[in-house]
Amino acid sequence: MAILKKKNRSRIAIVASSFNDFITKKLLSSCLMELHTQGLGDQQVTTVWVPGAFEIPLTALALARRKDIDAVICLGAVIRGETYHFEVVSNECARGIMEASLMTSKPVIMGVLTTDTVAQAQARAGVKSSNKGCDAACAALEMIALLKEI
């Protein structure tokens, strides 16, 4: 006898950065797989691509303000280079994601990797160990349920 899994009625938006998309695409794939595993259908998930991590917060805020979105997942990869640019982008991206969440009282999940090397980013977006895209999907669903309880 087959066991029917309860359909999850949540609506999720994903903001993904095109910059370093060789990492972001892996995060997105794992994120989508986990959302589907948790009972969300394709029609419940909206994915929006932005140029880079710096553009994620504005887009996340716009999506979080929509009444038909329960949570926003932000995915990207900022990899340290030779200049201060890494700190500026990673710090402001994180701050903007937090502000979007606080301004809308909705979960806006930080799934943006900030790593020293490409190898570290690949390890966090791989299939051998924990993929942070999957972790971000789980965090979004957990926060939606928690906020409904509160």
Residue among 91, 89, 55 nearest 74 (CA): 55
- Report pTM: 0.93
Adjacent-strand bridge partners of 12: 45, 71
Catalytic sites, residue numbers: 85
Domain limits for position 93? 12-144
Q: How far apart are CA 107 and CA 66, in angstroms?
A: 13
Segment 66-82 shows an average pLDDT of: 96
CB-CB contact of 18 with 24 (8 Å): yes
Q: Is the pLDDT reported for residue 4 higher than 80?
A: no
Q: What pLDDT was estimated at residue 2? A: 53
Residue 4, in any domain of the structure: no
Task: For 14-39, write each residue's pLDDT tens digit.
Answer: 999 999 999 999 999 999 999 999 99
Signed CA dihedral, 20, 82, 116, 85: sign only: negative
Residue 103, in any domain of the structure: yes
Residue 2, in any domain of the structure: no
Q: Is the pLDDT reported for residue 81 higher than 50?
A: yes
Residue 150, in any domain of the structure: no
Q: How far apart are CA 75 and CA 148, in angstroms?
A: 24
Mean of all residue pLDDT scores within the chain: 94
Q: What pLDDT was estimated at residue 126? A: 87
Query: Which stretches of the chain are DSSP H helices?
Result: 21-37, 56-64, 85-104, 118-124, 132-149
Residue 30, in any domain of the structure: yes
Task: For 38-52, write each residue's pLDDT tens digit.
Answer: 999 999 999 999 999
Residue 134, in any domain of the structure: yes
Question: What percent of the chain is modeled with pLDDT above 70?
Answer: 94
Residue 6, in any domain of the structure: no
User: How many domains are contained in the chain?
Assistant: 1
CA 135 to chain centre: 9
Task: For 108-123, write each residue's pLDDT tens digit.
Answer: 999 999 999 999 999 9
Q: What pLDDT was estimated at residue 1? A: 47
Residue 149, in any domain of the structure: no
Instruction: Give the CATH number for residue 113.
Output: 3.40.50.960
